[in-house]
Amino acid sequence: MSDTIERTDVLVIGSGFGGAIAAYHLAAGGAKVTVLERGPWLKNDEFEHDYQLGSSYTRIFDFVVGDGMSVLGGNCVGGGSVVYFAAMPRAPKFVFDRHGSIGRRMWPKSVSRETLDPWYDRIEESLSVSKQEWNDASYAGGLWGAACDHAGRTANPLAAAIDNSKCVNCNFMMAGCRFEAKQSLTVNYLPGALAHGAEIRPLHEVQYLERTPEGDYRVHYNIVDDEDYRLQSGSGVIEAKIVVMAAGAAATPVILQRSEAHLGTMPHAVGRYFSGNGERLNTAILNEDKVAEILGLSRGDGQLPYGANAIGKGPTVASWDKLDGSLPEYSRYSLEQLYFPPGLGTILAQAPDASGPTWFGKEKKEILKNWKSWLTIFCMTEDDNEGVFGPPPATGNAHRISQQLLGRGNLSYKPTDNTWHGWNQADADVKEILEKDGLAKVMPWTNDLVGAYTVHPLASCRMGDDPNTSALDDTNELRGHSGIFVTDGSAVPGALTVNPAMTIAALAERAVPHIVAAAQAKGIAVTYGAPAPTGYKSGRNAVLPLLRKKQLADA
């Protein structure tokens, strides 16, 4: 082994929204950027339509079972953006005024919908986020819209980062989109970062950080086998002046916890205040005759009027009637039509009116025969940030069980009465809408097997103004550890009541000029001001005056 220690200016841990956005801007600004990603790097033609273990469906995401909460997240170059469903709504205004479990505003006072809007604009430009029309809605989305209308509600096609001209509505987007219809980071920020000289290393799983005598950071990683993630083949270190942590809300706090022995005391909020974005799923089993008769829907050609669970592109239509800032906290939520593929979620669906067990057995098997007539409704409520990470596992962020996909983590989540209040209201609302006039039978997923279930982990290392309840200041820098920034979902202070990718990405964009300023202060020759990775400049032109006003160079 060589005695020469590898060095980079900026080390980015994770290549999802938080990591890719920072990597792009810093590389474009002239810094030497290295990205360590623990998952594999798949090319387009490796995104398969296949549920077999070992296909892209299991290689590129991770399911970590905790105590009372399971987290499904991305695990590949591009992170969550490769496995997500590309729904990109901005968070409603009231979210930024939430108090949550601390009894006072949990967001930094400098962040509001108004101040975040210019950063949201940048993401819309970079990822070609567009307002979807009803023509773009899948059968499932259309049906959800029609049911909402029948119940006297409104419904909206979702803003999405999808190029509809390329989409084939295969509904396999969770296994990666091989048609480049989904605007994952692998088609914008990451190629942009590479073009500016950034280096991306897949299968590098960061274990811990320590300080060098010069005050920089030495980052220790293990190399993971590209097929069987239980196997590791070696380890290494790399030194950097600035570290951007973006390993995801279920891994960033674990790495920091493991680093505490080397870096010194972590802020109290590291590994605490985890939020599952208040997520909950309900399965409706539709009565196709009623769908035709009451909603007047038809697919023609002797097809069932709905019968289309596998056709589409994830969520396309949501109900925002309860995103009403005048309602009390924990009673505001969105209800979104979602497709959830077989394999991991089907077991959690419960048979309505069962006389025996609801999640397994003969009655469960009967509802599986109606699988095409299932409609999944995704509730995103306001939870209470009650998740806490226990002591970190030996490596990674979980004890791996399966070759890919499945692990046991140390996250503990005991939902409070506040969280249950939101969940119960959302469940009741879904029931009221979909059981009206016998349209469907609805049951929520059971929490008894793997706990609550989130695909949008947040807030495990959150930003805020109060050092006692936030790990990061309002520039995303880790309190007490200058030069470490956290830009992934763990920085988001709490549940958003909508899909969070847009907000995670906007906060990452907002953090970049602060990271650049910190890098400059450490002598790195880097500037801020790159256009969108697509080359568009209007988003940049809108934010540059804000930065001048705030005199970021002195930050």
Partner 1 sequence: MRRIPIRKVDIAADATFTLEAYADTIVPGEKRWPGDRAIAGVSTGGGAVSCGALDLLRWDATGIHDGLEDLASQVNEHARAFAEKAGLTLDETVPPFVSLDYDDRVRLIEELTTPGHPEKDFWVLLSLFCNMAYDSAAHLHTDEALEEGHAGLTAMGITAPDADGLWRFQDFGYGRQLADLHPDTTPSGSPA
Q: Which of residues 295-354 bind partner 1 (CB under 8 A)?
A: 297, 299, 307-308, 310-313, 316-317, 319-321, 323, 334, 341-344, 346-347
Non-local (6+) Cβ contacts of 124 within 8 A are: 88, 130, 159, 539
DSSP structure class, residue 377: E
Ramachandran sector of residue 171 (left: φ over 0; alpha: ψ -120 to 50; beta: rest): left
Q: Which of residues 359-398 bind partner 1 (CB under 8 A)?
A: 360-362, 364-365, 368-369, 371-372
Asked if residues 202 and 41 have their Cβ atoms less than 8 Å apart, the reply is yes
Whose Cβ is closer to partner 1: residue 221's or residue 320's? Answer: 320
Number of residues that bind partner 1 (CB under 8 A): 93
Query: Which positions from 504 to 543 touch partner 1 by CB under 8 A, shown as an x/- string?
Result: ----------------------------------------
Whose Cβ is closer to partner 1: residue 101's or residue 130's? Answer: 130
Q: Which residues of 450-485 are buried (b: 16+ CB within 10 A; e: fewer)?
A: bbbbbbbbbbbbbbbbeeebbbbbbbbbbbebebbb
Q: Is 43 in the site for partner 1 (CB under 8 A)?
A: no
Q: Which two structure tokens, joined as six digits, stand for 152? A: 């006297």
Non-local (6+) Cβ contacts of 131 within 8 A are: 157, 159
Whose Cβ is closer to partner 1: residue 19's or residue 315's? Answer: 315
Tally of CB atoms within 10 A around 113: 16
Query: Taken in order 391, 395, 398, 401, is the CA torsion positive or negative?
Result: negative
For partner 1, which residue of 25, 32, 38, 90 counts as binding (CB under 8 A)?
90
Query: Mutual orientation of helices 113-126 and 538-550 as an angle, nearest 10°?
Result: 140
Q: Which of residues 134-153 bind partner 1 (CB under 8 A)?
A: 134-139, 141-143, 145-146, 148-149, 153
Q: Compute the least distance from the CB of residue 93 to partner 1, in Å.
A: 7
What is the distance between the alpha carbons of residues 288 and 455, in angstroms, rounded to a whole number? 29
Select the span of 44-52, 197-205, 270-278, 386-394 touching partner 1 (CB under 8 A): 44-52
Q: Which of residues 92-131 bind partner 1 (CB under 8 A)?
A: 92-93, 120, 124, 129-131
Q: Compute the least distance from the CB of residue 357 to partner 1, in Å.
A: 6
What is the distance between the alpha carbons of residues 55 and 35, in angstroms, rounded to a whole number? 24
Q: Which of residues 193-252 bind partner 1 (CB under 8 A)?
A: 226-228, 230
For partner 1, which residue of 132, 257, 469, 490 counts as binding (CB under 8 A)?
132
Non-local (6+) Cβ contacts of 41 within 8 A are: 76, 77, 200, 202
Whose Cβ is closer to partner 1: residue 321's or residue 384's? Answer: 321
Whose Cβ is closer to partner 1: residue 89's or residue 267's? Answer: 89
For partner 1, which residue of 450, 504, 512, 530 counts as binding (CB under 8 A)?
450
Q: Compute the least distance from the CB of residue 197 to partner 1, in Å.
A: 31
Q: Which two structure tokens, joined as six digits, stand for 171? A: 């509904």
Non-local (6+) Cβ contacts of 457 within 8 A are: 71, 73, 248, 249, 250, 274, 275, 276, 277, 489, 490
Q: How far apart are the first and last CA of the chain?
A: 40
For partner 1, which residue of 172, 221, 389, 453 counts as binding (CB under 8 A)?
172
Select the span of 212-220, 390-398, 444-452, 524-532 touching partner 1 (CB under 8 A): 444-452
Residue 274 DSSP SS3: strand
Q: Compute the least distance from the CB of residue 303 to partner 1, in Å.
A: 9
Q: Compute the least distance from the CB of residue 372 to partner 1, in Å.
A: 4
Q: Compute the least distance from the CB of residue 109 to partner 1, in Å.
A: 21
Q: Compute the least distance from the CB of residue 367 to partner 1, in Å.
A: 10
Q: Compute the least distance from the CB of residue 425 to partner 1, in Å.
A: 18
